[in-house]
Structure 1
Amino acid sequence: MNKKRISDKTFVLFFIFIFLASISTVATSSDWSQFQSDWEHTALTQDPAVKENPETAWTVTTSMYEENGINAPPIIADDLVYIYTTNGSIWAFDKNNGDLVWKNKTTGGSALQSSTPAYGNGKIFVASNSGDLFAFDGSTGEELWNEHVTDSNFECPITYFDHMIYIGDGLKGGVATKYYYCYDGNGQQLWKYANERSAGFLWNGACVIGDFIVYSTHEGKLVSLDKEKGGLVDEIDLTSEVLDFAKDDPGMFRSSVTYNDGFVYTTSERGQSLGYVWKIGYDKGKFINDGWCTQNGFSTSTPAIHEGKIYVGQGEHGYPGNLTCLDDSTGNILWSYFVDAGVKSSPAIAVEGGMTYIYFTGAKSNGSLYCLKEDGSLAWEYNPPDDGYILQGAAISDGKIYFGTDSGYLYCIQESIPKGWEQFHKDAQNTGFSPSDASDTNNILWASEDIGAVQGSSPVIADSKVYVNCGDYIKSLDQYTGEFLRNHSRGSTKYNSIASPAYHNGSVWCGLPDSVNSGTTVADGKLFEGEWDGHYYCFDELTGEELWNFSANGNAQATPAYEEGRVYFTSWEYGQTHAGYVYCVDSNTGDLIWDQSEIVYNCCGSPTIYGNIVYVTTYNFYGEGEIYALNKNNGSILWKSLIHRTDSTPTGAYGNVYVCGGCYGYSDLQTYCFDAITGDLKWNTTPSDGIGGWLCSVAVADEKVFVGTALEPEDDYTGLNGTCALDAFTGELIWNSGYGGSSPAVSDGMVFTIANGRVYAFGDLVAIDESTNEESAGFESSTAASGLLISAIYMMRRKRKE
């Protein structure tokens, strides 16, 4: 059927070709722009959690030229990771790959740098150990200004809020009058407040609460100041009897203040075993005799509060410690996790799927990064390969965790992602993102014979084989040569279904006999599949026994998405006022958890899960479609944006969500990149590019977006006749080819796609110069080249590269 020849009268028949859609992620809006994330020190991110199987995404060293350690936690903004090192240098690395973007130098290198920089309004603010404040351009590293502020030093985090910088004198100079300062973003001092007879501020960062800032002094006072004028609003001495729960000798206060729901929190330490956690009422700048104090061991850790629980570390250099969880209402200890190192770090929190994950580091040489579940059990421990001392904690952005050691190594940790592409759009969440490297050129490693591969479907790759929906059969090919291997079970044929196969443990599926575009999702020992009549089914993977079925409104075309005991799918009813539906059901029972029925146009595609968001797209037969971001837990609409009509399944990666749309002959073909959390458009291709299409689901890997193109199709209803690679961050064209076009798949450095009944495999390929035994450019593969020769050279290249 040629879509450009379809009249309005025959639109109702047009359903037979509609595809799948959705995605998930987290983005530039997931900045960790200062100590403990923000000016209230919440230390909480809604980014995806690293829940299990951590692996090193990348690592870099700042000690390449001289000894240069990392003692302060990273900060993250605008896709850069900023690190302040012991020799007084500020470094900016690309957060996605660890490439050095710039570095610059401040004053006052030291064996210990405990002041954490802050980011705001495009600038990085750094407090040096020599008492100077610096501002650098966040993108280029150009020094914008520096001011000598104090003859003491700086040892506490900078707090940034609304173009104002807050920081206090360090411990240098002993007990004296020590000041807390406020500077504007241009380096002008706005005020300074004198704290008499004080040792100063070590890790005592200020918390901004409405019109006020609050900080603790080394001696145990809490101070509340007018944040704009610096005038004293209130002060309370935690060693006095002003509070019902004050202590005669609480010890030293060496942590920042956290604010949550009418209370401020901090910690103190006395000796190696005694210390307290404090919760004190706070309202309109005044402290209130409400709260509690709990003995909790030596602590310099800033508390993190979430859903009625407080997470805080205890322990000192050379002594064992704990990460402890307290009840927020009573201060009672709920659990304590022991580690053989002091937990001086302040915990960071991620929430995903209703579960809370707590991240912290142990203060010792050859220490570790830990992840605990909310019940106090260990999710994982990551011990970095260097044996440097770990002092401070971690920062989180886009589902990755960043921390450093005093050996000068910065680590980016991610959850291990399987590198295969075993079902539609990569995995059970339909994410569409692969950690594999991928082709930098349009070299065709091989092209199969015409095996009847269904245009619009996507191949899957597993066990060195490529599985393809060929209608009557699923056929397998050799991954490296394209050689036909064998026929498997039936494919998907009803209404020219474009369902994609799924592979697991030696078995392969491709939907049900009456499926239309709905492929099989394999997860948790179950198969999830949809039928055209509006029913979704769950079967036991081993026995095939039906476990439950769910009746949706209208027609069902989605390949379901699964995560953590929940399965998500869509349906649509042609001609209805609200034609699109999204469902979340219990994967064990099929019981409805939530549905979203306020979507105007047709949800003909598949949902995708990323982080705490479910993404779906819509097809409008008479105009523009949309992309929706839904709250994963309740289905509420977080944002939506107009795009060309589509069934495309979006892909989430690098804090962005990627999607394409457009129907050849009816609307332009374009590819889009949105901020995954805010929905802000980051880039899109132009209509003249002809990149994208309603049936193409993009694949993302190796910082590239792989998508189909329109190159003058004739009777091809998909409108795709070519493949291209775009830069994932700019949308710039990297390469294109006149071959392939259907939803690409990426595995083992290769890109696979379908067109004209054939499967095409793209991959970087260089010739081996046997005389020099060196790789040399200039080898051009072709579809006529011997598959076995290509395979041999390709595998040799990959082995040498590894």
Structure 2
Amino acid sequence: MATVATASNWEQFQSDWKNTALQPGPALKAEPEMLWYQHTSAQGTNGINVPPVIAGDLVYTYTTNGSVWAFNKHNGELVWRNKTPGGKALQSSTPAYGDGKLFVASNSGDIFAFDAASGEELWSEHVTESNFECPITYFDHRIYIGEGLKGGPGTKYYYCFDDSGQLMWKYPNENSAGFIWNGASVIGEHIVYSTHEGKLLSLNRETGTPADEIDLSSEEIAFPKEDPGMFRSSVTYQDAYIYTTSERGQEQGYVWKIGFKEGKFLDGGWCTQNGFSTSTPVVHDGKIYVGQGEHGYTGHLTCMDESNGDILWSYFVDAGVKSSPVLAVENDNEYIYFTGAESDGSLYCLEEDGTLAWEYNPPEDDGYILQGAAISDGKIYFGTDAGYLYCIQETIPPGWEHFHKDTRNTGYSPSDAPDTNNILWASEDIGAVKGSSPVIADNKIYVNCGKYVRSLDQYTGEFLANHSNGSTKYNSIASPAYNDGNVWCGLPESVNSGTTVADGKRFEGEWDGNYYCFDETTGELVWNFSAEGNAQATPAYDNGRVYFTSWVYGQADGGNVYCVDANTGELVWNQSKILYNCCSSPTIYGDILYLTTYNFYGEGEIYALDRDNGSILWKKDIHSTDSTPAVAYGNVYVTGGCYGYSDLQTYCFDATTGELKWETDPEDGIGGWLCSAAVADEKVFVGTAFDTEEDYAGLNGTCALDAFTGELIWNSPYGGSSPAIVDGMLFTVAEGKVYAFGEKATGDEKSNVKTPGFGSVVSSIAFLASTIFIASKKRN
């Protein structure tokens, strides 16, 4: 199996010990909105001058008065706070996370280790009468850092401590001013860093023994003969080369590429003038991204050819770009994020051709922005000198216009969601198909009712109109799709395969294995694709590609996943090595495609595939299911199990690594093989069900779980189909009716339905079954 880099952690300066500064998707590529912010000082004397670091569900920041803060990265709630001595106007040493500890170096010359979860101080060491001003580099239970500029030129040491606080070695750098922003890079058995004066050193990382040294002003290596200036950036390593920058006036700084192998610096590489730079370069896919400019001046973010140093493009900013850029790469598209060094500064996002995607100016303060950003799960975190820490995310449309929310089947809504099981209204029996899921648009709810798709008023449940035909083939539970005033619900021969509308086209599947693309406006057939076996997925669409599944009953490796060109229907890739049957719809999140399988004779699985080529990144055993995964908060949520044949459970996995974070107790019976969970407001909403000999599709209520722990928040005996969430309301189907959960509009208004007591979900929740397959799956 292929391995994946974690998209959830950003554990030190520029993400890792090589200063790679790259997140493998998802990217924040569209206009952002603020998810949360926190102010670390009411007096405004507690600025943030370093980028945050992120591990697990926490984001950490270090402020100018020496305070260390840990916030929940999802909602900004303060988890813990601690203090170090030596606060002053500038705090430029970025902390590092490793093995459950947070390491912090202070202006007082001390190093601290805190328990990353609780904030308890584990140890501290007074190391120097100088100070610390460069990032901590963490690797393999060791931390590396150099002394700062305090005290002026002299012998300044680079230190190595183990993670228990024991000094392992210190290396003297003679006639040096010290290290500000000069972080190290760990490369095999060595660490490499630059001195303020322009020397590059390679030391054995275990012993501190020098392996090699070069002076970047030396004529011997055919680089600039004049003084290259001051070196105040970290070094980056990639593919046998070292990259760093220098500053010598506004127009005379340099970017360097130096060969490196087995601890030795090699001839080769290049140097090019790029103006004043304290920015650590980022190298990816043959390009180098680096900032240029000082505060009080204008600057640029420059893209260079990695092979020769030629400038490919340069984006002008009316502020110096002292920060180090960071990258997110999604579906082979690069997005570059950086900040401008000025008061009331902005965070910028560029596309890989240098086009501005967006500019974000923090609304809550006009603080100076010195440092760059950190990325986690498609969200960006950064701080300002006014003491604000921000989390921004891509603006998510509020509607729920497709099955499972959107064209990517994400199942996540930015809306608030009900905190209790209060029912606002229940509709009349309109013939809503058991197990189908409603969609919501323009204050209306659209529901598959078999002969018709019917619409209801979102806020009252009043019946409004009949629309195009619903989907009933073999008791299909297809969900409608809405776009631009029109509504669809699959084709006459569709089974569970609802409509996806995107890019002026409709994508739909039929039971015989064919998937179709129609012109949205004219209905003209654009292409059709024949999959192996039977098809029942609602297609997922993103970035010009369509993804869907098929399955062949009784065949080993009977599951298939397809990616086709949305315009032509041409096959991009096919993953045919899926064990068991792919009956679910796929979900797209960043560069990963998620899907589940149903095994007629045992347990099923959840898969994560590389969306670019279909390779299997990870897979985990779960109860057999047709559930479509939902992705939010860096997690993937899925339900499974068939009543009478296996337990009913809901699962939460790390979306990138596949690590199981929690699962519901089998005795609680929460979940099922036809329910797709919905996520909003830090809660997971799951339908539950039962079946009997008389009723294979009996729905048995709705549950709300804590998205991070799986703990039951509330339950109700009403509803049970895959829920949808909009405007703080949750909608679900059962018994031919639509139920709306939410808070009452006014204090004296009463719901249309009384909610009876529902003390324990354990005894009453069984399971749902509602498509054509339930009988055959049980018989076989």
TM-score by length of 1: 0.92
Query: Would you say 1:286 and 2:256 are equivalent positions?
Result: no
Report 1:676-687 matches (<5 A).
Answer: 676-687=655-666
Q: Displacement of 1:290 after TM fit?
A: 1.3
The one of 230, 238, 242 equivalent to 2:208 is 230
Alpha-carbon deviations, 1:175-195, whole Å to 9, x = none? 111000111111111111000
Name the structure 1 match of 2:46. 68
SS in 1 for 2:667: helix
Residue 293 of structure 1 aligns to which amino acid in structure 2? C
SS in 2 for 1:67: coil
The one of 735, 751, 754 equivalent to 1:781 is 751
Report 1:311-460 matches (<5 A).
Answer: 311-385=289-363, 386-460=365-439
Q: Which range is displaced more, 554-563 or 709-718?
A: 709-718
Name the structure 2 match of 1:51. 29
Name the structure 2 match of 1:534. 513
Name the structure 1 match of 2:591. 612
The one of 478, 493, 497 equivalent to 2:457 is 478
Alpha-carbon deviations, 1:669-727, whole Å to 9, x = none? 11101111111111111211111111100000001000012367674424531100000
Name the structure 2 match of 1:510. 489
Name the structure 1 match of 2:640. 661
CA distance in 2, matches of 1:546, 1:387: 54
Which gives a bigger RCO, structure 1 or 2 (Cα 8 Å, sep 6+)? Answer: 1
Query: Would you say 1:596 and 2:610 are equivalent positions?
Result: no
Name the structure 2 match of 1:6. none
**Does the Cα contact within 8 Å between 1:27 and 1:398 map onto a contact in 2?**
no
Report 1:11-90 matches (<5 A).
Answer: 30-65=8-43, 67-90=45-68
TM-score by length of 2: 0.95
Residue 160 of structure 2 aligns to which amino acid in structure 1? C
Name the structure 1 match of 2:775. none
CA distance in 1, matches of 2:200, 2:50: 24
**Does the Cα contact within 8 Å between 1:169 and 1:201 map onto a contact in 2?**
yes
In structure 2, relative to structure 1, the CA distance for the partners of 1:632 and 1:439 (3 Å cut) is: same
**Does the Cα contact within 8 Å between 1:695 and 1:718 map onto a contact in 2?**
no
Name the structure 1 match of 2:766. none
Report 1:107-256 matches (<5 A).
Answer: 107-256=85-234
Residue 108 of structure 2 aligns to which amino acid in structure 1? S
Query: Would you say 1:731 and 2:701 are equivalent positions?
Result: no
CA distance in 2, matches of 1:738, 1:247: 79
In structure 2, relative to structure 1, the CA distance for the partners of 1:522 and 1:561 (3 Å cut) is: same
SS in 2 for 1:35: coil
CA distance in 1, matches of 2:298, 2:676: 51
CA distance in 1, matches of 2:99, 2:584: 39
**Does the Cα contact within 8 Å between 2:610 and 2:617 map onto a contact in 1?**
yes
Alpha-carbon deviations, 1:91-138, whole Å to 9, x = none? 000000000111110011110111100001111111101111111110
CA distance in 2, matches of 1:74, 1:206: 18
Q: Displacement of 1:488 after TM fit?
A: 0.8
**Does the Cα contact within 8 Å between 2:639 and 2:677 map onto a contact in 1?**
yes
SS in 2 for 1:495: helix
CA distance in 2, matches of 1:742, 1:191: 62
Residue 417 of structure 2 aligns to which amino acid in structure 1? A
Q: Which range is displaced more, 295-304 or 238-247?
A: 238-247
The one of 265, 271, 274 equivalent to 2:252 is 274
Q: Displacement of 1:496 after TM fit?
A: 1.1
**Does the Cα contact within 8 Å between 1:359 and 1:372 map onto a contact in 2?**
yes
**Does the Cα contact within 8 Å between 2:228 and 2:248 map onto a contact in 1?**
yes
Q: Displacement of 1:419 after TM fit?
A: 1.0
CA distance in 2, matches of 1:670, 1:530: 29
Q: Displacement of 1:784 after TM fit?
A: 6.4
Residue 37 of structure 1 aligns to which amino acid in structure 2? S
Q: Which range is displaced more, 758-767 or 535-544?
A: 758-767
Alpha-carbon deviations, 1:223-280, whole Å to 9, x = none? 1111111111110001112312243210000000000000000000001221000000
Residue 337 of structure 1 aligns to which amino acid in structure 2? Y
Alpha-carbon deviations, 1:295-332, whole Å to 9, x = none? 11110000000011000000001110000011111111
- Where do 5+ consecutive residues of structure 2 fail to align? 756-780
Name the structure 2 match of 1:722. 701
SS in 2 for 1:30: coil
Aligned residues: 751
Q: Identity percentage over the alignment? A: 76
SS in 1 for 2:474: helix
Q: Which range is displaced more, 722-731 or 239-248?
A: 239-248
SS in 1 for 2:686: strand
Name the structure 2 match of 1:7. none
Query: Would you say 1:689 and 2:655 are equivalent positions?
Result: no
Q: CA RMSD in A?
A: 1.4
SS in 2 for 1:511: coil
Name the structure 1 match of 2:277. 299
CA distance in 2, matches of 1:730, 1:127: 33
- Where do 5+ consecutive residues of structure 1 fail to align? 1-25, 770-778, 786-802
Q: Displacement of 1:567 after TM fit?
A: 0.3
CA distance in 1, matches of 2:663, 2:751: 31
Q: Displacement of 1:27 after TM fit?
A: 10
Name the structure 1 match of 2:729. 750
CA distance in 1, matches of 2:601, 2:294: 66
CA distance in 2, matches of 1:54, 1:38: 25
Q: Displacement of 1:604 after TM fit?
A: 1.1
**Does the Cα contact within 8 Å between 1:437 and 1:748 map onto a contact in 2?**
yes
CA distance in 1, matches of 2:570, 2:49: 50
CA distance in 2, matches of 1:709, 1:521: 26
Q: Displacement of 1:781 after TM fit?
A: 3.3
CA distance in 1, matches of 2:43, 2:357: 37
SS in 1 for 2:699: coil
Name the structure 2 match of 1:104. 82
**Does the Cα contact within 8 Å between 2:671 and 2:686 map onto a contact in 1?**
yes
SS in 2 for 1:242: helix
**Does the Cα contact within 8 Å between 1:693 and 1:718 map onto a contact in 2?**
no
Query: Would you say 1:622 and 2:592 are equivalent positions?
Result: no
Alpha-carbon deviations, 1:29-83, whole Å to 9, x = none? 6200000000000001113000111111111111225511111000001211100
Query: Would you say 1:501 and 2:471 are equivalent positions?
Result: no
Query: Would you say 1:764 and 2:743 are equivalent positions?
Result: yes
Residue 52 of structure 2 aligns to which amino acid in structure 1? P
Name the structure 1 match of 2:771. none
SS in 2 for 1:594: strand
SS in 2 for 1:420: coil
Residue 175 of structure 1 aligns to which amino acid in structure 2? P
SS in 2 for 1:431: coil
Q: Displacement of 1:597 after TM fit?
A: 0.3
